[in-house]
Amino acid sequence: MEAWLTPAFFGTALLYASVGFGGGSTYNALLSLAGFDYRLLPIVSLCCNVVVVTGGTIRFARAGVLPWRRALTLSLIAAPLAFLGGLTPIREATFLLLLGLSLIAAGFALFVPRAPDAQTKPAAAAQWMGFAAAPLGYLAGLVGIGGGIFLAPLLHLTRWAGTRQIAATASLFILINSLAGLTGQLAKNGPEYFADALTPALPLLVAVVLGGQLGSLLALRWLPERVIRWLTAALTIWAGSRLLLA
């Protein structure tokens, strides 16, 4: 395991947690750049996702900002597709291409302007977000991410809910889809891959626990959310570009 991966995972978790995401896409890219077996990448990144967003989901629920019925509807539509995505065999070249393109798309999605919460009237397209959740779930399972980084910009564009409600929804969406995708990955590769993936990755899991907690604190007390989103977008686009050009 490359020595630079642990601080890189810490920084990734810090930035992504501060904007309500898990960071699975960038974890995958970092592991790939470090030469990690591509078949094991989704297991590590999805476990890191679960670690990061579980705490965020609990905090959102305790704060009463999680729209349970609507958020669960989107998540449960996507989850079976995330399982199928995790179950789908994929060649290494195709996996890396999809992952790189996904990272770049996700990075630019973070630049999508967010409507003020005062503009509460949803756009007509907001009622169709369930149809968007299904393919996002499949893509998430296929490349080992949670999918919330794609869902959240769509929810903001359609004014599906207020900013905190969307962040809470994305967090729950990532948690459920990461668990479903992880189940599919394990069904495809066998449970022995779980130990093979996580045994060398234990320092990375510790790093994302610490980074995720600090990221939440950072967002609450110091940097404006817009600055954090831009930093996260820059990191995501850089990682995707490196992956495609490697």
Residue in the block written with tokens 């896409």: 25
- Helices H / strands E in the chain, number of each: 11, 0
Answer yes or no: are the C-beta atoms of 58 and 52 closer than 8 Å: no
Query: Tens digits of per-residue pLDDT, 158-215?
Result: 889 887 888 889 999 999 999 999 999 888 888 888 888 888 889 999 999 999 888 7
**Residues 6 or more apart from 175 whose CB is under 8 A from it?**
22, 49, 50, 53, 54, 57, 75, 146
Question: Angle at Cα 151 formed by Cα 242 and Cα 172, nearest 5°?
Answer: 105
Tokens of 53: 């967003």
Q: What percent of the chain has pLDDT over 70?
A: 92
Query: Tens digits of per-residue pLDDT, 46-99?
Result: 999 998 888 888 888 888 889 999 999 999 999 999 999 999 998 988 988 988
Q: How many residues in the chain?
A: 246
> For residues 104 and 237, what is the distance between their CA atoms, to the nearest angstrom?
5
Cα R_g (the chain), whole angstroms: 16
Q: What percent of the chain has pLDDT over 90?
A: 30
Task: Please state whether the predicted TM-score (pTM) of the whole model is above 0.85.
Answer: yes
Q: Which amino acid is at 3?
A: A
> For residues 208 and 190, what is the distance between their CA atoms, to the nearest angstrom?
25
Residue among 146, 148, 150, 137 nearest 81 (CA)? 137
Tokens of 128: 């169709």
> For residues 146 and 208, what is the distance between their CA atoms, to the nearest angstrom?
15
Q: What is the mean pLDDT of the chain?
A: 86
Q: What is the domain count for the chain? A: 1
Instruction: Report phi then psi at 38, rounded to 5.
Output: -65, -25
Domain that holds residue 188: 5-114+121-245
> For residues 208 and 4, what is the distance between their CA atoms, to the nearest angstrom?
14
> For residues 76 and 80, what is the distance between their CA atoms, to the nearest angstrom?
7
